[in-house]
Amino acid sequence: MGVYVPEPYLARRLDDAEALDRSRAHLEAMRQRRSIRSFAPDPVPWELIENALRVAGSAPSGANQQPWTFVVVLDQERKRQIRRAAEHEEELLYRERASSEYLGAIEPIGTNASKPHLTDAPCLIAVFEQAWRWEDGEKRKHYYVRESVGIAVGMLLTALHLSGLATLTHAPSPMGFLRELLDRPENERPFLLIPVGYPAPDAEVPALRRKDLDEIAVIV
């Protein structure tokens, strides 16, 4: 059993003007974020990826168990293997597994079973959730795993976007092949696959509308 050891929280409180400036700049930057499916082949400076991973690793998590693993895939042959496996599952999804309701819901996004972004993007980040861990020879359960990993992924996407990089959240269904191809242990389950890079010069995105504030927030 761990022991509570406190330490001072030293963050500086911002004055209102600085806080508003930061808030407005952040909002404006994040309004430009879109999911990109066309990537330029240009390499990405490693420090941008590393810093974004460190941001993700700073996310809050249930009981501070940090139940995540981020596997960065740079090898082109490994990316080809992932693409082949993902497209196989996606073909089955579109042809046999998906309901007509689901296919209708994603039609405005313009997706299909072809996933060239998995080999075009210079970097893939495969996110795994750790359902449990071995500690002192015993299996220890993790708590609020999906909530924790979801928060970490959100912070990762934000950090990558603010670094000028484009991303896509891709979840092949099912995606158990990722654990095999990336040689992950039995306690890790695939959570998400994120292509990362610079957008291609001719990249396009669907014309979609984001909900207004009064549609997503309630003040009581």
**In this structure, is residue 220 part of a structural domain?**
no
**In this structure, is residue 159 part of a structural domain?**
yes
**In this structure, is residue 7 part of a structural domain?**
no
60 vs 110, higher pLDDT: 60
**Do residues 207 and 107 lie in contact, with contact meaning Cβ atoms separated by under 8 Å?**
no
For every residue of 96-134, which 3-state class applies, written as one string?
Answer: HHCCHHHHHHHHHHCCCCCCCHHHHCCEEEEEEEECEEE
Confidence at residue 147, expressed as pLDDT on a 0 to 100 scale: 98
What does pTM read for this prediction? 0.95
| Averaged pLDDT for residues 83-92 | 96
* Dihedral over Cα of 34, 67, 78, 75: its sign: positive
**Do residues 52 and 114 lie in contact, with contact meaning Cβ atoms separated by under 8 Å?**
no
pLDDT in tens, 153-176: 999 999 999 999 999 999 988 999
**In this structure, is residue 27 part of a structural domain?**
no
Confidence at residue 52, expressed as pLDDT on a 0 to 100 scale: 98
**In this structure, is residue 44 part of a structural domain?**
yes
Confidence at residue 126, expressed as pLDDT on a 0 to 100 scale: 98
**In this structure, is residue 175 part of a structural domain?**
yes
**In this structure, is residue 2 part of a structural domain?**
no
Using the predicted structure, report yes or no on whether residue 1 has a pLDDT greater than 70. no
pLDDT in tens, 179-214: 999 999 999 999 999 999 999 999 999 999 999 999
Confidence at residue 2, expressed as pLDDT on a 0 to 100 scale: 79
Residue 86 is part of a domain; what is its CATH number? 3.40.109.10
66: left (phi over 0), alpha (psi -120 to 50) or beta: left
Beta-carbon contacts of 99 under 8 Å, excluding residues fewer than 6 positions away, are: none
Domain tally for the chain?
Answer: 1
pLDDT in tens, 11-65: 999 999 999 999 999 999 999 999 999 999 999 999 999 999 999 999 999 999 9
| Averaged pLDDT for residues 136-150 | 96
Q: Tell me how crowded residue 115 is: count the other CB atoms within 10 A of its CB.
A: 22
Domain membership of residue 161 as a residue range: 38-199
**In this structure, is residue 214 part of a structural domain?**
no
